[in-house]
Structure 1
Amino acid sequence: MVRTVNGDWLIRARDGRLGVYAIRDEAVWCRAERRPGGDTWLPWRKVGGDQRLHPVLAVGHGADGYAHLVSWRPTKAQEAGLVHSTHFRVHLAALDWSPVGHPDKAGARTGTPAVAVDAEGRAHVFVRNRGGSVRALIQKERGGWNAWADLKGTDVHEQLTAVTGESGRIELYGSNQAGILRWRQEEAGAPLVPADSLPVRVEPGTLSALPTSKEHTTLFFADREGMLYAWRPGTEPTPLPAAAGPGPAALLRCTLEGHDCTLLAQRSASGRVAFAACPAEQESAGLWWTESGPQLPADTAVALAEDADGRVVAATVTPDGELRIARQKDEPGLALAAWQEV
């Protein structure tokens, strides 16, 4: 399996089951709990039919519990196009892949897509084009897609991070040599427009974002020296400890000992999973990494979610498709049971 998955690939579906998504053998695959909160999982199954795909996937998860999946497919020699599928139940078959076009009308793959789902259940797809600006594709409320919109931007790095706030409005983050770029919806259903940026040296591929209150989304990123930061627009970034490992941190807002908290997880330099937590929007209070579980191969993906019983669940998928789960125990704090291969 390949780690090029953008978004929350561990999700809780509408019926409460957890599901995971990954790429293998030019296809997207999914596994789901046999029952919500249970310890056994169904086998891997292919998602979206037999369409051959590039090794890249974006996952967006709506308030309705549905997953929206976006990937690239080869179309002809040296060219590709984006495809979309909706997964209504993680333990059942998803819709077949449907072509949705190319940000430059035609050509090679241009970047890793990002997808977010608004309060009305419409998918918003974002991707860099060959000129280095950002294009957006918005699903219509009654099916189909609107025309591509140009969100502008200059020399934008490949990774984009899209997030839906508690208001149901979408925000998009990207980066370039000048710093962090941000776009937002001023009202539900409206096109995204450029918003306040942050001039800071960003390590490409380290952005992740999370709604941390009704008013705010918090962006986490690493600088070129590997130090981690938290940023909410309108404030200065808060310095945190060094990132535990490469890539974006997995994020989850959860309740720990009665407190509203932000939980982070990364595969650490030692190969184990590292966790850190702090009160939501109080990153300056400090956070510290604690490692857990066995050593894992490079390019192992890490994700966080809450199960049907409100327990924190951490998941890892290794490059060869081994899925491990650690679930919160009924104890104070973030006490996880032993990691289990499922």
Structure 2
Amino acid sequence: MNGDWLIRGRDGRFCGYTLAPEGDAVLCRTERTPGGPWSAPRTVGGDQRLHPVLAVARSANGYAHLVSWRPTVPGESGLVHSTHFQSHLAALDWTPLGHPNKKGDRTGPPAVAVDAQGRAHVFVRNRGGGVSMRAQLEKGGWGPWRDLKGSRVHGELTAVAGESGLITLCASAPDTILCWRQREAGATPQEDKPLSFGARAGTLRALATSPARTTLFFTGEDDVVYAWRPDDEPVPLLAAAGPGPLAAVRCLLDDVDCTVLAQRASSGRVAFAAYPTEQESAGAWWTESGPRLPQDAAIGLSVDADGDIVAATVSPSTGQWLVTRRKDEPGLALRPWQPV
């Protein structure tokens, strides 16, 4: 899964998304009341059979946008999109988006971000090794596929809307990181000068960290987690807790704007680290929490209506969901993990 799969809706209730154990559908579970018990898993987007991949993004108004690949004819696939407006109601049926090269099989895991006008932007590696995108139009429907260029892209892309609503996209390639940024609302993202710095595929995570800037977190080839903002150099933050992807969120800890990172540690548990946002020089360190998790467990981070951190894990293979929240005390102390 790629993106913020743990999403707080407009009514304050959380909804989590995951792949079905068979990998051919997307499931969601929803809090019945904010902070209360959760519903049983239910299928998202109708009966369309999917491939085992999912990208999720939250819009500013709390809607969830989901993107996946579906099989079409033998040996070929196409991307599909769904919107979940209210977590306790059914999501829209999957809408076909086509293929970045018109036809063919899957080219890579997609990413999605939603701008300030509520328009979803879908990104995916194309057959040439670059990146293509397709975006919703302001008056409905979808624009054409656009080739953003780039080359030798591998692993998952990461896309995020900044506080301004403008979208940033990042991708890893051998010995470099590629970045595209929107210059104005509705515009096609433009490629920045590549960063000559290698990142491990599948570890990129972008987060809006100020009104004008987005920070990219990634694990370098030296197994160190770095923070990078365009026009600066990557800053080493701390040794990676494990080999998997990073989750990130901003929240207030003791009235300080902090960035919280989470990663499945080599021990199998969830490791957390926090530091004042954009102040990497303050340092950070991992603290492990919860039980050992299956290797396919995904970690989600969000904040509730009061601004307190909420963390969840889900394992598609076992169907195990766990949730924890911050304790009502200083620091990043968490309550015991509870099964959903």
TM-score by length of 1: 0.97
Tell me the residue number matched to 1:274. Answer: 271
Deviation for aligned residue 1:329? 1.1
Deviation for aligned residue 1:39? 2.8
Return the alpha-carbon distance in structure 2 between the equivalents of residues 229 and 306 of structure 1: 23
Equivalent residue in structure 2 for 1:21, among 17, 26, 32: 17
Tell me the residue number matched to 1:222. Answer: 219
Q: 1:159 corresponds to which letter in structure 2?
A: E
Tell me the residue number matched to 2:145. Answer: 148
Q: Which is further off, 303-312 or 225-234?
A: 303-312
Equivalent residue in structure 2 for 1:8, among 4, 9, 22: 4
**Alignment deviations for residues 220-242 of structure 1 (CA, whole Å, 9 cap, x no partner):** 01112211100011111111221
Alignment of 1:147-186 (within 5 A): 147-186=144-183
Q: Secondary structure at the match of 2:16?
A: strand
Q: Secondary structure at the match of 2:323?
A: strand
Tell me the residue number matched to 1:46. Answer: 43
Answer yes or no: is the 8 Å Cα contact 1:128–1:158 preserved in 2. no
Q: Secondary structure at the match of 1:239?
A: strand
Q: 2:6 corresponds to which letter in structure 1?
A: L
Is 2:209 the partner of 1:208?
no
Return the alpha-carbon distance in structure 1 between the equivalents of residues 254 and 144 of structure 2: 47
Deviation for aligned residue 1:21? 0.3
Q: 2:208 corresponds to which letter in structure 1?
A: P
Tell me the residue number matched to 1:325. Answer: 323
Return the alpha-carbon distance in structure 2 between the equivalents of residues 265 and 308 of structure 1: 21
Deviation for aligned residue 1:248? 2.0
Equivalent residue in structure 1 for 2:191, among 163, 183, 194: 194
Deviation for aligned residue 1:197? 2.2
Percent identical: 63
Tell me the residue number matched to 2:229. Answer: 232
Point out where structure 1 has 5 or more consecutive residues left out of the alignment: none
Would you identify which runs of 4 or more consecutive aligned residues in structure 1 move more than 6 Å?
A: none
Answer yes or no: is the 8 Å Cα contact 1:271–1:297 preserved in 2. yes
Tell me the residue number matched to 2:256. Answer: 259
**Alignment deviations for residues 107-155 of structure 1 (CA, whole Å, 9 cap, x no partner):** 0000000000000000000000111011010101121111111100011
Answer yes or no: is the 8 Å Cα contact 1:274–1:291 preserved in 2. yes
Return the alpha-carbon distance in structure 1 between the equivalents of residues 328 and 175 of structure 2: 46
Return the alpha-carbon distance in structure 2 between the equivalents of residues 93 and 100 of structure 1: 20
Is 2:108 the partner of 1:103?
no
Answer yes or no: is the 8 Å Cα contact 2:260–2:273 preserved in 1. yes
Return the alpha-carbon distance in structure 2 between the equivalents of residues 15 and 99 of structure 1: 29
Return the alpha-carbon distance in structure 1 between the equivalents of residues 214 and 306 of structure 2: 25
Deviation for aligned residue 1:335? 1.2
Q: 2:327 corresponds to which letter in structure 1?
A: K
Return the alpha-carbon distance in structure 1 between the equivalents of residues 175 and 95 of structure 2: 36
Answer yes or no: is the 8 Å Cα contact 2:172–2:198 preserved in 1. no
Deviation for aligned residue 1:81? 0.4
**Alignment deviations for residues 84-125 of structure 1 (CA, whole Å, 9 cap, x no partner):** 100001121000011111000000000000000000000000
Report the count of equivalent residues.
337
Return the alpha-carbon distance in structure 1 between the equivalents of residues 218 and 141 of structure 2: 34
Is 2:292 the partner of 1:295?
yes
Return the alpha-carbon distance in structure 1 between the equivalents of residues 303 and 220 of structure 2: 29
**Alignment deviations for residues 164-191 of structure 1 (CA, whole Å, 9 cap, x no partner):** 0001100000011131100011011111
Point out where structure 2 has 5 or more consecutive residues left out of the alignment: none
Answer yes or no: is the 8 Å Cα contact 1:196–1:233 preserved in 2. no
Alignment of 1:66-145 (within 5 A): 66-145=63-142
Q: Secondary structure at the match of 2:121?
A: strand
Answer yes or no: is the 8 Å Cα contact 2:252–2:308 preserved in 1. no
**Alignment deviations for residues 256-300 of structure 1 (CA, whole Å, 9 cap, x no partner):** 001000000111000111000000000121000000111111111
Tell me the residue number matched to 2:239. Answer: 242
Tell me the residue number matched to 1:336. Answer: 334
Return the alpha-carbon distance in structure 2 between the equivalents of residues 183 and 271 of structure 1: 34
Deviation for aligned residue 1:306? 0.8
Deviation for aligned residue 1:61? 0.9
Q: 2:42 corresponds to which letter in structure 1?
A: R
Return the alpha-carbon distance in structure 1 between the equivalents of residues 142 and 244 of structure 2: 31
Return the alpha-carbon distance in structure 2 between the equivalents of residues 168 and 207 of structure 1: 20
Q: Secondary structure at the match of 1:76?
A: coil
